[in-house]
Amino acid sequence: MIVCVDHIDLKVSDFSGTIQLFKTLGMRVLREMPERGSVEMALPGENQVVFEIHQANPGGFEGIHHIAFKSVDTDDIHALKESCGVNFITEGAVIQHTGRTVSTFQDRNGLNWQLTD
């Protein structure tokens, strides 16, 4: 069962400028991960959506890379495969820097989505 939007992953060309913009909007840095080339930010308070900001590669993709949903049911993957025919790129991948498990899939439009614990 999906319970909330967990995070939105952004690829940006102006990394420091985007961080400053989000700070001006009232967000705070939750975690800096230089080894991943990213920073996690959110508005103050509980249960806020996290924005993970990554430096885009020169000439590479810029924009929303994926939106992740928090899932509390491992049957969500099976349901998406069966009823929607989505293609999972990863299933149950452990992210070393956060300790979280993610499963990434593409919808029929080629958009990337994630389920995370």
Structural domain boundaries of the chain? 2-116
pLDDT tens by residue, 70-82:
988 777 787 887 8
| CB-count exposure of residue 33 (10 Å: 0-12, 13-18, 19+) | middle
Average per-residue pLDDT for the chain: 92
Give the residue from 46, 44, 84 showing the smallest Cα distance to 105: 84
Q: What integer pLDDT is reported at residue 60 of this predicted model?
A: 94
Quickly state the pLDDT bin for 87 (edges 50, 70, 90): confident
- Which pTM value belongs to this model? 0.89
CATH of domain 2-116: 3.10.180.10
Q: Is residue 84 pLDDT above 90, yes or no?
A: no
Structure tokens at 87: 């293609």
Region 1-28: mean pLDDT is 96
| CB-count exposure of residue 113 (10 Å: 0-12, 13-18, 19+) | middle
Greater model confidence, 73 or 47: 47
β-pairing verdict for 63-71 and 50-55: unpaired
Q: Is residue 4 pLDDT above 80, yes or no?
A: yes
Q: What integer pLDDT is reported at residue 114 of this predicted model?
A: 94
Q: What integer pLDDT is reported at residue 104 of this predicted model?
A: 93
* Alpha helices, DSSP H, located in the chain: 15-24, 75-84
Give the C-alpha separation, 40 to 115, whole Å.
17
Give the C-alpha separation, 66 to 77, whole Å.
17
